[in-house]
Structure 1
């Protein structure tokens, strides 16, 4: 059948070609083509009468739809060869404009607002960096930058980001191991020889907030361009000083494009993040009758506490158009990060009757610490072959990838030189044996933030994790008719793993094994008229034994499952996602409506050794399932009204647990059944715009990944979960005023009603991470 060009988008529109990137996928060629395309449409943009859209220029995010700053048109991963509105999967995209107007800058706070994602604490005693759960599945190691995995538990920032792409549902065909619930891909900013600009922003606000950024693109010649992004940011955590956050960042990229068919890019990304972190409140009450509730706690973070990430990443990208229909792209990356933390936790206690002050309610302080050094190398090559088959467009991709990830975890030697000030436990003596944050009068003790008197030095390593992976894949998207398109992909991963454990006496135990696994993805779309389509897809993922780099042999947290002294003999954890949905791309590509229903079944789940399961030689003794639906919107309802948001309704169920059969039928830990988010912006005049955002998360319960939260069975055979995170709803506000084409001002008020809310809880209830209190920030933006 002949191709219907009125229905199928020309390839020049489906995959914009980008010249170079600050950490952007080399698989895309020049953004200049898109800029020229935008310039051709200047008159139509002017007709909108909206300043935001008049400014759709070459330095804007090249992936968005013109006239719709909250709507991404295409993915930056050019293995997704069709526009987002035509993909047979759920892909939520946060554009640069939407991120900036939200007022959030760290990835953890950006993703916390997104339906289908919850934020976790540092479980298993590990408080490293960012931790995410997507559709109920652990995803802390499933963060990518321009399509390459970003290993290690680091802090991540958005100052050099064009957009954030969240693929929901198992995704191992694209991403390799892991990605049972999905993956997060950060798309970094891009350079071009086609234009020159300088942008700078300075923000100041309450709680000592200061943030300054600069973005400079400079063509050195017709064939060479350089772009640099820089960041300095500091803020106290609202209403929780002396806890604070500090960020310094630099991203520099140079691209060489001697001819239109070839480009080479070299870039560097560096971030220095250091926090004095606040682990928030804690839960108190009788868990057996469901009376655990948050206790409002004074700030107990110690002056010497810290959580830091020092990140340095070097990337090379080659893009070579071998012929009219064949392209070769290659990305090579070497990265290092040094991460570490010494933080203070709190736990509710009633002091001993033998305390010199008598028994009284207080909270005791504890220490949590560790360091992590990460080194990694990755190379990914893709051959893109375009053709016409059966009368339709055919996009074939043959790819190979090699990764070498090394993560060494260790300890700090921490000596608390402060004097104990209370007694806990039931001992007969009256000597103080603990640090308490509240005195007998119920008030915070004097010098609470220096009570422990920490002296900290870096100590030995205790876990040396190393995984090499060789991967090969093939993907094909083909139009069988003018309305029916099929996507298919298959991937083989072979990995070689080694783990060293060093004990306190410096003896080292080593484990190693190797294995291979397959994954596949099959999807089909059918166009309805000129603006809609329906789709169905099936995709798989595989989580391998020892897949998480930070937890040693804690199998219940993604560490190694050791059976009879060996870590071989296990099968990968298998996830299968079945999804069907619809997408409508309205108002000349300016508004996208989506809806999907899905089911993720995870089988062969690792259950920790010693948990009581009957060994069968594999340890793959668990199974769980998540069902749900998601409705989303992104783009412009009118030329002046932008919006982005989604509603997700989920239900999780433990289907099998040999380790604890009583878990069967229960929900998953760290899992919210209902989540919603909506951000809206209205351009009242050419110069003035105003907007708001609202996010809601349902009640969750802390616990170990891939299993049920701790619970108590009541006499009537009902049950209550023990570590609840209350549901919350938080609203934000922003307004913008444009003085002229080069200068504008934005006011952000986040958490307008100053809600006390919580984003995550540690499984014991001793950490209950607070969301940020109200903060007001004004930002002046200049462009030259």
Structure 2
């Protein structure tokens, strides 16, 4: 389906040319229809506006680093999960599943935890679910604290996925079928149909399965359904009702491991046949939008959601086996079991009043909002038994007491995927976490002059926290509850130096609470609840402040956006952990991250589209309950990260492109504190090597309805690692080389 944008010479100039025997010039530009209302027409890698309507100005005029990844960029790169998308963005690193779990992905933005700061259409998406891209229109990443929009948490930033919605503007359909190496199959369907100007429905379907490249029998399987219905009986009123469902079931791979600070680059796939990672998600959303006038509008967003997550995974740890065992010691790796389940239920309602008005002779864009959320997460365990025979000895044992990957000759154990003979039965719950929050906020964007604009916002979050714990052996229970009120704000100033060019200064705060992470109970070392004298109360909120100076420049007829920002984020009153116990310290830590980020998105020429950026940062622990931590870098923090995605049109309908991404060296450790450090040799003890990967793609339009695309992932077959668990037992491995062919039919 094609749209036409036509520009013609002015009539007088055309007449003059005709008199001279010349024909008037008509420029025709064809672009595929983009149903994303936030996209910039004809510029597939550049979004013009945010999907969060509370950001009332275009992205190029927003006084903060707001990185947007459009659906076109996601599709071209061949990325299907949120973790793949975020791994390719500068300033973001990935972490391992918290506390040894595998409940989905962990994101770290500018050195700060963000695993609980994932939002969908502006509402927090709680729990540690697997997140897919098939129903996503664009992904927005706010860098730096953003509590005015996000509420509690968001110390380093937030991720907001904007979903596909029904619209009455036009009908369209798109079907994708992909096949590839590693038994890859992926089929998606996106159909929108309008029934006149008052009603429309849109449906998205997904089925996908593949072996993890070079790590079979590990695999991934997804089925999904997203439905959206729009009813707009008048120009003033619209009602949209959505459903999102995902069923994900993987046989997960925890990758390699560190031994003597070096990764085992040739670690075999050791996942056990009984392993699983499951995530069942069901979400219902209702939106009502009513315009009282051109200047006053009310929007209400109501959501109810549930997800059931569970996992049984195998870890590996490099060891020197027991010297006391028959035959003595040899180098191997032992297998371990990690498991858990999680039930998530949440209710949220967000009401926004938008008012465009003049006050004291100045133009204001006011947003007043109320939000209520009720988040509940029940975490539990599986009872596991191993029926396989031990094949090695660990520790100081004189008899076989463990499962090893290698024998003393270095040969891989036979029947490795069934070595443990593991069985699992769902057991009882161990933590019952809940937070109810009532929030209010007021934002205003005011033009002081034609060049000078000020944005200000303030938010208050009043919450009730409740955590129940249960010993899974004795069933002894305890309960910890408290209430608190958080205040946060944001102030930004922009100044237009020239058409399309503005500079800005911004200050934004964030705050997090004791026990704010839902998946770790009282494991204080990973953001769980710190208990003192049997109570949870006593800690002040952790506070973050981001100071940023930047510039945004819309060039080439606003088809290319260049951004630059220098920033400093300071987090203080940090609650530090003591390993994985509930014994921690209140408000003893302070961290600082400084850096510079450059970005680009849009079209350099009619044939060349680009999106990417680079971030240089340095992190330092300024205060800690552990004096040796002061002066160290933060854990899971890369000093430099960069990516560039480019697409070039060789001739009409034929494009080639690629994505190159680089992640600097990082070191494992507990969140929000220094990376693990060895005083013996004076080096960080859990290193993750730097890596650079290259993905390539090519698309060819066979006819107006049919397109073919080839994706080559990790073309150089780079042996790289995304993250390390703090003990070094897991070293998450990136996908090996892979190839995909996708046919797209538009109707």
Could you say which residue in structure 2 is the equivalent of 1:261? 236
Would you say 1:594 and 2:560 are equivalent positions? no
Could you say which residue in structure 2 is the equivalent of 1:238? 213
Would you say 1:669 and 2:644 are equivalent positions? no
Would you say 1:495 and 2:463 are equivalent positions? yes
Give yes or no for contact 1:409–1:463 (8 Å, CA) kept in 2.
Answer: yes
Match of 1:711 among 646, 655, 677: 677
Q: Secondary structure at the match of 2:391?
A: coil
Match of 1:353 among 315, 323, 334: 323
Unaligned runs of 5+ in 2: 9-24
Could you say which residue in structure 1 is the equivalent of 2:699? 736
Q: How much does 1:63 deviate?
A: 1.4
**Offset from partner CA, 1:532-577 (integer Å, 9 cap, x none):** 0000000000011110001111222111111111111211000000
**Offset from partner CA, 1:667-693 (integer Å, 9 cap, x none):** 000000000100000011112110011
Q: How much does 1:48 deviate?
A: 11
Could you say which residue in structure 2 is the equivalent of 1:170? 145
- Hey, what's the Cα distance between the residues in 2 that align with 1:519 and 1:191? 35
Could you say which residue in structure 2 is the equivalent of 1:4? none
Cα distance 1:610–1:364, how it changes in 2: closer, same or farther (>3 A)?
closer
User: Residues 516-531 of structure 1: matches in 2 within 5 Å?
Assistant: 516-531=485-500
Would you say 1:410 and 2:377 are equivalent positions? no
User: Residues 37-48 of structure 1: matches in 2 within 5 Å?
Assistant: 41-43=5-7
Would you say 1:480 and 2:480 are equivalent positions? no
Give yes or no for contact 2:441–2:459 (8 Å, CA) kept in 1.
Answer: yes
Would you say 1:749 and 2:712 are equivalent positions? yes
Would you say 1:329 and 2:299 are equivalent positions? yes
Cα distance 1:49–1:664, how it changes in 2: closer, same or farther (>3 A)?
farther
Match of 1:642 among 609, 613, 619: 609
Q: How much does 1:360 deviate?
A: 1.9
User: Residues 253-652 of structure 1: matches in 2 within 5 Å?
Assistant: 253-285=228-260, 291-389=261-359, 391-427=361-397, 429=398, 431-503=399-471, 504-608=473-577, 619-652=586-619
Match of 1:720 among 683, 686, 707: 683
Cα distance 1:613–1:455, how it changes in 2: closer, same or farther (>3 A)?
closer
Q: How much does 1:391 deviate?
A: 4.7
**Offset from partner CA, 1:309-367 (integer Å, 9 cap, x none):** 10000000000001221000000000000001000000112222343454221111000
- Hey, what's the Cα distance between the residues in 1 that align with 2:612 and 2:512? 30
- Hey, what's the Cα distance between the residues in 2 that align with 1:353 and 1:49? 79
**Offset from partner CA, 1:237-289 (integer Å, 9 cap, x none):** 0011000000100000111110011011111000011111110110011xxxx
Q: How much does 1:709 deviate?
A: 1.3
Q: Secondary structure at the match of 1:207?
A: coil
Q: Which is worse superposed, 700-709 or 436-445?
A: 436-445
Give yes or no for contact 1:130–1:153 (8 Å, CA) kept in 2.
Answer: yes
**Offset from partner CA, 1:2-56 (integer Å, 9 cap, x none):** xxxxxxxxxxxxxxxxxxxxxxxxxxxxxxxxx9xx9683458xx9989xx6124
Could you say which residue in structure 2 is the equivalent of 1:6? none
Could you say which residue in structure 1 is the equivalent of 2:30? 54
Q: How much does 1:76 deviate?
A: 0.8
Could you say which residue in structure 1 is the equivalent of 2:623? 656
Would you say 1:183 and 2:162 are equivalent positions? no
TM-score normalised to structure 1 length: 0.91
Cα distance 1:472–1:443, how it changes in 2: closer, same or farther (>3 A)?
same
Could you say which residue in structure 1 is the equivalent of 2:64? 89
Give yes or no for contact 1:682–1:689 (8 Å, CA) kept in 2.
Answer: yes
- Hey, what's the Cα distance between the residues in 2 that align with 1:279 and 1:728? 18
Q: How much does 1:124 deviate?
A: 1.9
Q: Secondary structure at the match of 1:97?
A: helix
Give yes or no for contact 1:311–1:338 (8 Å, CA) kept in 2.
Answer: yes
Q: How much does 1:126 deviate?
A: 2.2
Moved over 4 A (4+): 47-50, 609-615
**Offset from partner CA, 1:58-116 (integer Å, 9 cap, x none):** x4322121221001110010110000000000000000000011111111111011110
Q: How much does 1:221 deviate?
A: 4.1
Could you say which residue in structure 1 is the equivalent of 2:17? none
Let me know the Cα RMSD of the aligned residues: 1.9
Would you say 1:682 and 2:648 are equivalent positions? yes
- Hey, what's the Cα distance between the residues in 1 that align with 2:325 and 2:243? 57
- Hey, what's the Cα distance between the residues in 1 that align with 2:507 and 2:674? 26
- Hey, what's the Cα distance between the residues in 1 that align with 2:169 and 2:143? 35
- Hey, what's the Cα distance between the residues in 2 that align with 1:612 and 1:271? 34
Cα distance 1:40–1:320, how it changes in 2: closer, same or farther (>3 A)?
farther
- Hey, what's the Cα distance between the residues in 1 that align with 2:688 and 2:601? 29
Give yes or no for contact 2:6–2:27 (8 Å, CA) kept in 1.
Answer: no
Q: How much does 1:527 deviate?
A: 0.4
Cα distance 1:49–1:209, how it changes in 2: closer, same or farther (>3 A)?
farther
Give yes or no for contact 1:561–1:609 (8 Å, CA) kept in 2.
Answer: no
Cα distance 1:528–1:390, how it changes in 2: closer, same or farther (>3 A)?
farther
Would you say 1:774 and 2:737 are equivalent positions? yes
Q: How much does 1:619 deviate?
A: 1.1
Could you say which residue in structure 1 is the equivalent of 2:224? 249
- Hey, what's the Cα distance between the residues in 2 that align with 1:546 and 1:67? 46
- Hey, what's the Cα distance between the residues in 2 that align with 1:235 and 1:216? 25
Q: How much does 1:608 deviate?
A: 2.3
Could you say which residue in structure 2 is the equivalent of 1:29? none
Give yes or no for contact 1:392–1:480 (8 Å, CA) kept in 2.
Answer: yes
Would you say 1:699 and 2:662 are equivalent positions? no
Would you say 1:203 and 2:169 are equivalent positions? no
Give yes or no for contact 1:578–1:600 (8 Å, CA) kept in 2.
Answer: yes
**Offset from partner CA, 1:202-227 (integer Å, 9 cap, x none):** 00000000000001111234311110
